Amino acid sequence: MKKQSPSRKSPSKAASRATRSSAGKKKRGPFATILVPLDFSGKSRQALAAALPLAEQQGGKIILLHVVEPPLVRNVPEFPTYVPVPITDLVKAATARLNAMARKLVKPAFLSAVLIEVGQPSIEIVEVARRRKVDLIAIASMGRTGLKRLLLGSTAESVVRHAPCAVLTVRKR
């Protein structure tokens, strides 16, 4: 009669511990952390509406982000230099609005963080995704084409090009 090696006889102790410890926990899917940048428009809310079921199905968490763009004003008409305007009031208002939106739209069990950043939206979104090691960015696309896109740019397009993770773009026709 052949003797079986211990590894074939029974599962290892480590494997059985892993099985026991994960039995009570819900498995997290590939999109464990989802970043949803919001500009408070209806279109950005649609991106959140698309991200919420993913977080629920995958056992994931949502990070809400709003980026405040610093307004610039001309210093004097003769010189084309710009000076930044104090933005503390804008940041306070955005913080209050984003926190209210989070309380209203996201179940606490699925909310990881509510963040306000100051800067250029596409750059800040990618940076937060990198720092927070997010698995997915769910972002609204305004669907601009032609001259409007050339003049106004596309935050979603820039995020898609530079993101360190998968990007879900949401666009209503």
Are 93 and 55 in contact by the 8 Å Cβ rule? The answer is: no
pTM of the model: 0.74
Q: What percent of the chain has pLDDT over 90?
A: 51
Mean pLDDT of 100-129: 95
The tokens for 149 are 């896109």
Mean pLDDT of the chain: 79
Question: What is the distance, to the nearest Å, from the Cα of residue 7 to the centroid of all Cα atoms in its chain?
Answer: 43
| Res 22 pLDDT > 50 | no
Read off the pLDDT of residues 115-148 as tens digits, 9 standing for 90 and up.
999 999 999 999 999 999 999 999 988 755 555 5
Q: Which of 98, 127, 110 is nearest to 31 (CA)?
A: 110
Answer for the pair 75, 135: CB distance below 8 angstroms, yes or no.
no
From its phi and psi, is residue 92 left (phi > 0), alpha (psi between -120 and 50) or beta?
alpha
pLDDT confidence of residue 73: 61
pLDDT value for 14: 41
Domains along the chain with CATH numbers: 43-170 (3.40.50.620)
DSSP tag of 28: P
Supply 97's token pair. Answer: 């609005």
Query: What pLDDT score was predicted for residue 95?
Result: 96
What is the pLDDT confidence band of residue 96, given thresholds at 50, 70 and 90? Answer: very high
Q: In this predicted model, what pLDDT tens digit does every residue of 61-79 receive, in sequence order?
A: 999 999 998 876 655 566 5
Compute the distance between CA of residue 25 and CA of residue 33 in angstroms, rounded to an integer.
Answer: 17
Are 54 and 159 within 8 A, CB to CB?
Answer: no
Check pLDDT > 60 for residue 158: yes
